[in-house]
Chain A
Amino acid sequence: MTEPAREMSPQPETLMPEATGKDRDWAKWLPTVRDTVIAVALALLVGAFLIILSDEQVIESLDGLFGNPGSFFVYAGDVLRYSAEAVWDAYTALLRGAFGSGPAWERTLERSAPLICAGLGVALAFRAGLFNIGAQGQMLVAALAAGYVGFHYDMPPVIHLLAAIAAALVAGALWGGVVGLLKARSGAHEVITTIMLNQVGRFTVLFFLAREAFQRPGSDNLLSPVVDSDAQYPTVAGLHLGILVALLAAVAVWWLLVRSKLGFELRAVGANPDAARTAGMSVSKVYIAAMAIAGLLAGLAATMTVLGLRQGVTDQVVGSVGFDAITVALLGRATPFGTVLAGLLFGALSAGGLGMQTAAGVPPELIQVVQALIVLFVAAPALIRGLTRIRRRRAGTEAQEVTA
């Protein structure tokens, strides 16, 4: 197999699947879906193992097992019974926490929305051959901008919300666009610049939150005033509409990638910048545009938390969404549709993790381990089924698409 010439950038086969118009070819999706289901199941299996190991009753009966080899079967039975109970309790609590009730669904969707948006940003950059670690920083400054417009100005209802969203989009796009600009102008590696801008973003937010204009009256904490209700996402039956916006964003990204000229250039640059340049495309323009749009999507993600969930700005407002977005994009194989599904899955896991903690006493960190394992197993189809054959064929078609 010949190695296609590539620069160091994350676009090997796992990230460049089902590109171009073949998205509609459902038969091609089936193995992907099957792999993902198996991967989730495997990850949950490992999770079950950890649950068993962390269950006190299981540990006690294990102690008994080793202490009294005479009554082996009694204690072995206990170990099995308690293990099964612990796993059953934990996973039913997980399901209930994610889908068991109205509020559970709300939590799942509310957590999915920012993950989807930020994940789309990371995925889009991936497709252009850029590794955007900077969603966190982009979201932070965007949250600051959205929050400021949200609580500082007084505007009519719909306009206020739109203005706050616009502020977030502009802030995110600028923060991301700088990375593309630097890459295009001086070749500064985007991994360095995004990591550094994450830190700069963190301190920028801390700086502004310490100013008077950003302080909530009567509070000594780094906490901004509450965002006007006019500037918050409207809620329908308790659920804010961010998730709809996120789905629309996914459609827009799909259109951009698959149907637009810019999207074609973006994919071409991602596959092979030298070839794209030879074909007359402006690689610089694509880098700047891709990073600006990635930042814009991260900004949109920030509005989900500031104008949806939290309704005020703190330095923790983004949580770790910016980093989780990377895993979401990877799990979604850098496609818009895949990112939506991955975002929903991660949102459900995170909402269910809460339920698991309260109802079954399982530490929420378990979810993080399971999430990581899912991505790992999905990325290693060879581990699940011993077929590098398909990968090769896919690599072949990819090469054809690029040259086509």
Chain B
Amino acid sequence: MSTVVDAPAPAAGAPEPQVRDRADVRRQVKLVVVLAIVLAAEVWFKLDINDPTVSHLLKGPRTKENLPVEFDGTLVSWTAVAITAIALVLAILNRYPRGWVGMIVSVLVGIGFYGAFLMWAYADPDGFAASITNPIEGTISLATPLVFGALAGVLCERAGVVNIAIEGQFIAGAFFGSVFSSFAVASIAAIPLFWCSIFGLLGGILAGVGMAALLGTFALRYHVDQVVVGVVLVAFGYGITSFLLGQIPDDNEEMFNQPELLESVEIPGLADIPYIGQALFNQTLLVYFMYVAAPLVWWLLFQTRWGLRVRSVGEHPKAADTVGINVNRVRWQAVLLGGVFAGLGGAVFTLDLGSFDKEMSAGTGFIALAAVIMGRWHPIYAALAALLFGFLRTLENQLSILDEKVPGELLSALPYLATIIAVAGFAGRVRPPAADGQPYVKSD
């Protein structure tokens, strides 16, 4: 294979000449190796199964009417092998599709691997026969705060303000979400219960915006190094919420830390779609907002005048200033709007799960940060990365009940290892907004 740097542009209509650069070849080799490993694993999964009978509970939780359905996993296993084999052949022939078609093929291979792995993991049970549950529900609930946090990160960083403080915004949002919701239940007699949790959301937003305001004050007003502010705000968030939690007397728990949880709202019609309907469309308002949040942020950033300004102050503040954009004002707007999202993400913890606990967010904010970087500072990709993390965590839960075949701890570590491999092997070098982390000092 010759290595030509400047391939001549192919003449219109003529077949593309077979000229490839080294990066291209390397990408193909990587792809072939990965697909070959996946294929080998899938074949091994299939061959290792003695009794391919498994059961699933994809239509919601186990009830008298909804019993586990037994089925033969052979078909799933072989389908996965077939998909991967086709992809491998395409890759070897250098016909692996590019762009979004390639993405679909990769996703299909991924789903196939997931299926083959599940068949292997759930087949041949030792004693207790667990059934495969619907991963969508868990994915959505685990990914909701991540998506909001990632969008907060994208908004801030696109404007040139590094936001390491997502975790701090989460924990503050969770605490004040709980306090506001509980307080509304306990003290405002006239308010219907449904609105109490909405009140809680408001508390979460206020807390998120409050933390964002601290970030803005120190980063934009006082030009403190933004990474420093971020790290410190996380510590501050943890400290202040657990301090305040300690200040709630036990007998007053009800008034301050018994939040009214968000109710699920069923969307008629859509909720009746088999398998996915209940999981996707019988959800809380917050989840519905999550569905539209990523497209909304994308629209704001890429389709509006304001978004253009945000991106310009994140890439080249001096140029933006020259054309008359008030750099710090735009940055403030983006940071505060990010605070709204991060606060909502924090409120998910208490308004979905219940009383506030000081270890509640447990590093989720940092995972959201990873999603921002993995999604290359793009709202849609960042949200997808967040969903992926949510899915991997769900997989972890799904498999933790099957401790015999694979040690649970290794499975738990798998999502994180997979992320490292994905980032190192395929995402590669990512480029943040050029002015990310640099305070803008207007010169005279």
Instruction: Give the B-binding residues of A (Cβ under 8 A).
Output: 1-3, 6-10, 12-15, 50, 53-54, 131, 133, 182, 185-189, 191-193, 195-200, 203-204, 206-207, 210, 323-324, 326-327, 330, 363, 365-369, 371-373, 375-376, 379-380, 382-383, 388, 391
Give the Cβ gap from A329 to chain B, nearest Cβ, in Å: 9
The residue in chain A whose Cβ has the minimal distance to the Cβ of B236 is A372
Measured in the bound complex, the distance between the Cα atoms of B233 and A330 in whole Å is 13
Main secondary structure of the interface of B (DSSP, over half): helix
Q: Which of B222, B367, B412, B416 has the most CB of A within 10 A?
A: B416
Within residues 217 to 265 of chain B, which ones have a CB less than 8 A from any CB in chain A?
218, 222-225, 227-229, 231-233, 235-236, 238-240, 242-243, 246-247
Within residues 361 to 382 of chain B, which ones have a CB less than 8 A from any CB in chain A?
363, 366-367, 369-370, 373-374
**B231 and A383 within 8 A (CB):** no
**A366 and B437 within 8 A (CB):** no
Complex interface: chain A residues within 8 A of B229 (CB): 376, 379
Given contacts A50-B243, A365-B242, contact A379 B218 (CB under 8 A): yes
Given contacts A133-B366, A372-B239, A373-B236, contact A391 B420 (CB under 8 A): no
Given contacts A54-B247, A195-B367, A379-B218, contact A204 B409 (CB under 8 A): yes
Q: Which of A8, A189, A195 has the most CB of B within 10 A?
A: A8
B427 interface residue per 8 A CB criterion: yes
The residue in chain B whose Cβ has the minimal distance to the Cβ of A211 is B407
Within residues 389 to 444 of chain B, which ones have a CB less than 8 A from any CB in chain A?
407, 409-410, 412-413, 416-417, 419-420, 423-425, 427-430, 432-433, 435-441, 443
> Which of B228, B238, B374 interacts with A379 by CB under 8 Å?
B228
Measured in the bound complex, the distance between the Cα atoms of B229 and A1 in whole Å is 23
Measured in the bound complex, the distance between the Cα atoms of B413 and A327 in whole Å is 27
The residue in chain B whose Cβ has the minimal distance to the Cβ of A137 is B416
**A10 and B430 within 8 A (CB):** no
**B236 and A369 within 8 A (CB):** yes
**B419 and A192 within 8 A (CB):** yes
Measured in the bound complex, the distance between the Cα atoms of B296 and A90 in whole Å is 49
Q: Which of B370, B425, B443 has the most CB of A within 10 A?
A: B370
**A330 and B231 within 8 A (CB):** yes
Measured in the bound complex, the distance between the Cα atoms of B409 and A383 in whole Å is 47
Give the Cβ gap from B40 to chain A, nearest Cβ, in Å: 23
Complex interface: chain A residues within 8 A of B287 (CB): none
**A363 and B441 within 8 A (CB):** no
10 smallest CB-CB distances across A and B, nearest first, come from A187-B429, A368-B239, A207-B409, A372-B236, A369-B239, A203-B413, A10-B227, A188-B424, A365-B243, A372-B235
B159 interface residue per 8 A CB criterion: no
The count of chain B contact residues (Cβ–Cβ below 8 Å) is 57
The residue in chain A whose Cβ has the minimal distance to the Cβ of B235 is A372
Complex interface: chain B residues within 8 A of A369 (CB): 236, 239-240, 243
Give the Cβ gap from B232 to chain A, nearest Cβ, in Å: 5
Main secondary structure of the interface of A (DSSP, over half): helix
**A363 and B370 within 8 A (CB):** no
**A8 and B432 within 8 A (CB):** yes
Give the Cβ gap from A363 to chain B, nearest Cβ, in Å: 4
**B235 and A327 within 8 A (CB):** yes
B31 interface residue per 8 A CB criterion: no
Measured in the bound complex, the distance between the Cα atoms of B246 and A11 in whole Å is 37
**B243 and A366 within 8 A (CB):** yes
21 inter-chain pairs at a CB distance below 8 angstroms, sorted by A residue, are A1-B441, A8-B437, A10-B227, A12-B437, A14-B228, A53-B247, A54-B246, A187-B429, A187-B430, A193-B423, A196-B416, A199-B363, A204-B409, A206-B409, A210-B407, A327-B231, A365-B243, A371-B235, A379-B232, A380-B222, A391-B223
